[in-house]
């Protein structure tokens, strides 16, 4: 690669921020020229995150030079910051929820405040590369998908697109604790999360409308879904496993369903069918999404297991994948690390 | 209590065996007079399990004096041993799967061998106290329920008994690793199970027929179920959380459903509804089953979360609860310990 | 027991507070009549801690009736509250660090503020029952030992008392995360503490002067110690393991040393020598302190491994043990639960 | 790099074997042409280890083409296999303990069998690159260091080489469970290792003579050491933290000691001093060794904390580092991945 593209990370001290740093620092096409954060300005990145021995890369207040900016701010704050970045002629991959939903009403209902810049929602591309690769090439603003939506949409898109399931779907998802970010809470306090498993969001999780939006859009007939999504917190740092349940619209066996998935994801370098049910640990540290679709013959129920590393394919790796496409680089660039096992 | 009843544990070196020992040693109505095991005969129980400082209680080969015997052998071996124990006039609570299913054909299909003593199947009482309390009083042989069935049946019995859900049920269950017992395997090897989450048994889990048997029996109209059960292994030692999904047969709200559960379990000392979704850690070390039924208004789906400590209410605690009933003791005797939190 | 003594817990929402509640609720000689906390006043204890189904026990602001009060406030706050409680004629077991050190100067140096009531320091009894049993009987105010000091002092008191080691001691201690309490911090954030091990307090830990005070006092000749204490945080909720190193003053073998320990702890119901090196998991949920002293022949070094459950023998269990002695109850009352294993 | 060197891994199904595969598959100078194992011959590597999607790389019985062979067999088996590999003109990096000790008597005493090929012991180079870089360049056979020795020797070599500590050393080391390998045992059974911490090897650990050999050799005056090494098992998969204690021979402050370490490791790309005590999680997935030397002023004791990923710098990464030197490649080749955090 001739010259590396200068990129920045806004709010590098979040988990998605430091994971972006790790990936970009090892990326042959990008040059990490700026990292910003609020409370740690002036500190060396390597002092805040000793696993990143980055010499004298210092945390600053503002993006100045980067052509491409990864925004790892919380929702709300992201939408405040992004219009300025775009106005300065930069392209933006936003890891918050601010540019995922097309409908500002839906956004306002779930995020409890009016969207600060609804005029950008139409332009923003939903950054699930496997479904929106072509739109991403010219995008100026990417709404990088949430971790649950990534695992779920990749699990269900093929069968919805081909119309082989009834639109009555249950997704029972389990996530590692890093999905809750780096902000402190009793829920993520070690002694409470350790050796513990719990469902949450039973009265509605913010990722649900995002999944419904994308799954409805990909569905063959665009039929409204009857969609239940229940997330659970599992006592591990990384990993999402989504177990998806739907009834087949017509009899099919596992082999036929697997063939359909292989076909649907033929050109997707990071989606892979596994010969046996996948385990989250197989994805730790990699940008893979592992899928295992199977038909329960007795009930004619389709069950799809989907595994990702929530911080990589579910966040920062996916953002880099989007950025590769934006910049005309091969989609896999900088993302070929295998999982770290055990 | 006047005199303590002499009891024995067969195969005390299993996890359910040592957990039985812990409970019985602290039980005011039972006297642990004998513990047996194959490979550790002659050793002090306290040397094998240093958390049980039981003085000179020594592991022996055979039960001699106990009137009541807890059998913690693997399936198959249990059914070999139990007829002899019964013939000697002892009462037996069997923690294996050998006396849970009424139909020897079903047993043979799932456990891959002919049942050694099918003539005892009819007599055996399924030891879920909350459903079979009366039959247990006079029972000579109890088939103690599996851990997944306990969590699942308690979660669904009320709504099936009252006929308020359609018989189309999905149970997505998550278990700690101790549910797999003390036998060594790669699946339960620390470095493979730690920080990992995986579904298993997608081609059928042995606990499914047990659940179907009991749920069908309790169902108002006895209608056949369309029942899907997917277990998952979670990186923690204890705890089961079952997330149960079903469609309501008629519109109901959460409040009405909760009232129905309160009513159904009015006399059950160990089943408790929680004000918010229960966490497995709340049950660790206790014989509680925590339930949280809720109606998802948008989809009219009933979701019930159920949590137990798999080794206590899911195995040894439940066995002691059965034994209390068998012996005419108050059901809670020796089982009142609170959960150990955090 | 005739009548149960009314007791209160101040700041029940801390980990030591809720563990006290668990123990006292199951204690045959104490009646938990009051629990207080700042931010959760008016809530049911069972809503804050669902593992404690305590019916209508409500969190209040102030102690009113209890004769015996367990104070689980942070240091500083404890010393502010305790004089008033004593003035009202109550006896107090303080779980903070405020009444452990005899010297107010030492307190000020380590806790960075002047002691609010130095006049009480002389009266306060250091609540390590194994060393101060007689003084405790009549005590009005108990300074309950810290978790590290409990594990360490019990490990080293016998050999110091008998003068068989040189006063040059290294203690390398490892603690579960609950030892850091329930206050939120990045250090105890799940994703940072999980799968992680780190030393801390290398420039001095607050528990060190407490250990030096007690070890010097127990030492045969009262010689000044050369004492190094390095704590580590381990990725587990409960448990402390202290590995103590010292050089023998004269040649001794392991057998002789073990005999000395057996003798020293002859009347101590909770201290137990193990036949092989103890594991923290053997103590989880119990008030035991497990010791394993051994002599490394080659180097003539004494190594003592000590294990406790930091929340029980290292905090709340020990406080109850003190309270039993204060009230003339058998020392083991309410503390006989075995460890929860696995 | 012109052409990639064909390498093989013997016993790829061990943890060090699969970690070697991961590293070599991403190494720009090596071509993984062969992987062998006993029980999984004929299977695809990617079926055995789904985190390594290696296409049709199949596990075979014997090495045929590789010029450089990594042997990940257990001790004993390694020494049986290696003479043949050398005779065929291959160079060998052995990850077992078979070629680490120079003295066959010491080997026999600790490993309980006569060394199968003592004639190779003199030729073998101890593969701690930081101490033996020059000897490695021409080596035909490398005895790759153990994980504990790597952490410990790197922590203590500088001060022993400069003669600033007394030869009386205590190393208290804590390891993740993957250090015990992939063979099944109760000690590494999830439910027993989880939430548990224990010391082991109190009557002598096999890594001790290896450490003594190297530390004595590096010591300024070659004085005999009084060396105590106590390992502990911590409930995490990866990581070693060694806490090393020694008395200073003459007064020194932390700053001076740090300068000495900086100087000693000036040319070592993987050894790094940290500004605050290192945590094992900072090293997970990287080939770093993080060191934190400090002087406890009060006692004039030197304390050095050392952290590595036991499977990388403590095994497979180090083996690749050795191989780089053997092949004249830059030492960092293929080993520049940052740690995976959180």
CATH of the domain at B111: 3.40.50.720
Evaluate whether residue A339 is within a structural domain.
no
Contact D184 B186 (CB under 8 A): yes
The pLDDT of residue B152 is above 80? yes
**Mean pLDDT for the stretch of residues D242-247:** 98
The pLDDT of residue D156 is above 90? yes
Distance between CA atoms of D290 and A290, rounded to whole angstroms? 34
Exposed / middle / buried, residue A226 (Cβ in 10 Å: 0-12, 13-18, 19+):
middle
Q: Which residue in A165, A272, A266 sits closest to A221, CA to CA?
A: A165
Contact C170 D170 (CB under 8 A): yes
Q: What is the pTM of this model?
A: 0.97
Evaluate whether residue B126 is within a structural domain.
yes
Q: Does B170 lie in the same domain as B270?
A: yes
Q: Does B91 lie in the same domain as B182?
A: no
3-state DSSP assignment of residue B338: coil
Evaluate whether residue B339 is within a structural domain.
no
Count of domains for chain A: 2
Task: Identify the pLDDT of residue D25.
Answer: 97
Strand partners, C239: none
Q: Does C194 lie in the same domain as C124?
A: no
Task: Identify the pLDDT of residue D2.
Answer: 62
* Paired tokens of D216: 């004595």
Q: Which residue of C has its CA nearest to B269?
A: C53
Q: Distances from the Cα of B173 to the Cαs of B101, B213, B233, D129, in angstroms?
A: 21, 18, 9, 49
Contact A69, A181 (CB under 8 A): no
**Mean pLDDT for the stretch of residues D170-176:** 98
The pLDDT of residue B82 is above 60? yes
Strand partners, B242: B173, B306
Which positions in chain A touch C237 (Cβ < 8 Å)? 190-191, 194-195
**Alpha-carbon A260 to chain mean position:** 23
Residues of C with CB under 8 A from a CB of B: 15, 18, 22, 25-26, 47, 49-53, 178, 194-195, 237-238, 272, 274-276, 278-279, 281-286, 288, 290, 336-342
Evaluate whether residue C336 is within a structural domain.
no
Evaluate whether residue C340 is within a structural domain.
no
Contact D197 C280 (CB under 8 A): yes
Which positions in chain D touch C234 (Cβ < 8 Å)? 174, 197, 234-235
Exposed / middle / buried, residue C125 (Cβ in 10 Å: 0-12, 13-18, 19+):
buried
The pLDDT of residue C333 is above 90? yes
Residues of D with CB under 8 A from a CB of C: 170, 172, 174, 176, 191-192, 194-200, 202, 226-228, 230, 232, 234-239, 241, 243, 245, 277-281, 284, 292, 294, 296, 299, 301, 303, 305, 342
Query: Which residues are CB-neighbours of D127 under 8 A, at least 6 positions away?
Result: D93, D136, D142, D143, D144, D145, D318, D319, D322
CATH number for the domain including D196? 3.30.360.10
Contact D184 B189 (CB under 8 A): yes
Evaluate whether residue B331 is within a structural domain.
no
**Mean pLDDT for the stretch of residues C197-214:** 94
Query: Tell me: the pLDDT tens digits for D267-320?
Result: 999 999 999 999 999 999 999 999 999 999 999 999 999 999 999 999 999 999
Evaluate whether residue A240 is within a structural domain.
yes
Q: Does D180 lie in the same domain as D102?
A: no
The pLDDT of residue D1 is above 60? no
Distance between CA atoms of B60 and B85, rounded to whole angstroms? 15
Among the partner residues C170, C197, C342, nearest to D234 by beta-carbon distance: C197
Residues of B with CB under 8 A from a CB of A: 170, 172, 174, 176, 191-192, 194-200, 202, 226-228, 230, 232, 234-239, 241, 243, 245, 277-281, 284, 292, 294, 296, 299, 301, 303, 305, 342
Q: Which residue in A331, A276, A283 sits closest to A305, CA to CA?
A: A276
Query: Tell me: the pLDDT tens digits for C308-319?
Result: 999 999 999 999
Contact D51 A283 (CB under 8 A): yes
Q: Which residue of B has its CA nearest to C19?
A: B341
Task: Identify the pLDDT of residue B2.
Answer: 62
Among the partner residues B228, B299, B303, nearest to A202 by beta-carbon distance: B303
Query: Tell me: the pLDDT tens digits for B18-61?
Result: 999 999 999 999 999 999 999 899 999 999 999 999 889 999 99
* Paired tokens of C185: 């911090």
The one catalytic residue in C33, C147, C244, C289 is C147
Q: Does B108 lie in the same domain as B191?
A: no
Query: Which residues are CB-neighbours of D138 under 8 A, at least 6 positions away?
Result: none
The one catalytic residue in D18, D33, D129, D147 is D147
Q: Does C91 lie in the same domain as C166?
A: no
The pLDDT of residue C112 is above 60? yes
Confidence of residue C224 (pLDDT cuts 50, 70, 90): confident
Q: In angstroms, what is the C-alpha Rg of chain D? A: 19
Q: Distances from the Cα of C166 to the Cαs of B58, C163, C230, C247, C257, in angstroms?
A: 41, 8, 19, 6, 15
Q: Does C108 lie in the same domain as C207?
A: no
3-state DSSP assignment of residue D177: helix
Which chains border C (3 or more CB–CB pairs < 8 Å)? A, B, D
Contact C231, C200 (CB under 8 A): yes
Q: Which residue in C38, C8, C23, C33 sits closest to C183, CA to CA?
A: C38
> Residue C300: left if φ>0, alpha if ψ -120 to 50, beta else—which one?
left
Q: What are phi and psi of D54, to 5 degrees?
A: -100, 25
Contact A95, A72 (CB under 8 A): yes
The residue segments making up the domain with residue B220 are: 148-310
Q: In what order do the strands lie in the sheet with A301-308?
A: A198-199, A226-233, A165-175, A240-248, A301-308, A289-296, A271-273
Distance between CA atoms of B32 and B6, rounded to whole angstroms? 6
Stretches where chain A sits below pLDDT 50 are: 1
Q: Which residue of B has its CA nearest to A230?
A: B243
Q: Which residue in B316, B308, B315 sits closest to B290, CA to CA?
A: B308
The pLDDT of residue B1 is above 60? no
Query: Tell me: the pLDDT tens digits for D46-76?
Result: 999 999 998 899 999 999 999 999 999 999 9
Say how many residues make up chain D. 342
Q: Which residue of D has its CA nearest to C247?
A: D168
Q: What are phi and psi of B164, to 5 degrees?
A: -100, 0
Q: Does A303 lie in the same domain as A168?
A: yes
Query: Which residues are CB-neighbours of A45 under 8 A, at least 6 positions away?
Result: A12, A21, A35, A52, A54, A57, A58, A59
Q: Does C263 lie in the same domain as C176?
A: yes
* Paired tokens of B251: 């519109």
Distance between CA atoms of B43 and B77, rounded to whole angstroms? 22
The DSSP code sequence of B41-78 is TTSBHHHH-TT---TT-BEESS--S-SEEEE-PPTTHH
Q: What are phi and psi of D143, to 5 degrees?
A: -95, 100
Query: Tell me: the pLDDT tens digits for A178-216?
Result: 999 999 999 999 999 999 999 999 988 899 999 999 999
Among the partner residues D47, D275, D338, nearest to A22 by beta-carbon distance: D338
Task: For B196-254, list the strands marked E by DSSP.
Answer: 198-199, 226-233, 240-248
Peptide bond into D2 cis (omega under 30): no
Q: Within 13 Å of residue C206, how many CA atoms lie on the same side as its CB?
A: 16
* Paired tokens of A78: 């992201």
Q: Does the active-site annotation cover C33?
A: no
What is residue A238's DSSP assignment? S
Q: Does A176 lie in the same domain as A82?
A: no
Query: Tell me: the pLDDT tens digits for B228-253?
Result: 999 999 999 999 999 999 999 999 99
Evaluate whether residue C9 is within a structural domain.
yes
Q: Distances from the Cα of C75 to the Cαs of A281, C100, C107, C111, C139, in angstroms?
A: 42, 11, 11, 8, 20
Residues of A marked active site are found at: 147
Q: Does D101 lie in the same domain as D197?
A: no
Q: Does C119 lie in the same domain as C60?
A: yes
Distance between CA atoms of A321 and A133, rounded to whole angstroms? 10
Name the helix (H) or strand (E) containing C133.
Answer: helix C129-137
Confidence of residue D138 (pLDDT cuts 50, 70, 90): very high
Q: In angstroms, what is the C-alpha Rg of chain B? A: 19
């Amino acid at each position: 690669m001739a010259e590396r593209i200068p990129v920045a990370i806004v709010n590098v001290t979040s988990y998605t921020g430091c994971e972006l740093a790790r990936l970009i620092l090892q990326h042959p096409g990008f040059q990490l020229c700026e990292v910003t954060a609020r409370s740690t300005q002036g500190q060396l990145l390597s002092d805040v995150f000793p696993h990143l021995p980055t010499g004298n890369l210092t945390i600053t207040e503002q993006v100045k030079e980067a052509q491409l900016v990864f925004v790892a701010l919380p929702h709300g704050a992201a939408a405040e910051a992004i219009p300025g970045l775009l106005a300065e002629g930069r392209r933006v991959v936003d890891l918050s929820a601010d540019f995922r939903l097309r409908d500002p009403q839906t956004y306002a209902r779930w995020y409890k405040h009016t969207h600060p810049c609804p005029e950008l929602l139409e332009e923003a591309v939903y950054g699930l590369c496997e479904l929106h690769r072509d739109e991403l090439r010219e995008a100026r603003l990417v709404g990088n998908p949430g971790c649950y939506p990534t695992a779920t949409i990749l699990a269900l898109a093929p069968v919805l697109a081909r119309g082989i399931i009834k639109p009555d779907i249950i997704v029972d998802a389990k996530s590692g604790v890093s999905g809750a970010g780096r902000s402190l809470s009793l829920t993520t306090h070690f002694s409470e999360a350790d050796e513990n498993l719990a469902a949450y969001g039973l009265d509605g999780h913010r990722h649900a409308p995002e999944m419904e939006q994308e799954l409805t859009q990909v569905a063959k007939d665009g039929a409204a879904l009857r969609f239940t999504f229940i997330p659970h917190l599992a006592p591990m740092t990384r990993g999402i496993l989504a177990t998806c349940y739907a009834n087949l619209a017509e009899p099919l066996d596992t082999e036929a369903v697997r063939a359909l998935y292989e076909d649907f994801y033929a050109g997707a370098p990071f989606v892979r069918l596994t010969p046996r049910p996948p385990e989250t640990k197989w994805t730790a540290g990699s940008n893979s999404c592992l899928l295992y679709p199977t038909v329960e013959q007795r009930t004619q129920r389709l069950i799809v297991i989907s595994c990702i590393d929530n911080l990589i394919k579910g966040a920062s790796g996916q953002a880099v994948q989007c950025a590769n496409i934006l910049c005309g680089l091969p989609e896999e660039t900088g993302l070929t690390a295998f999982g770290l096992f055990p």
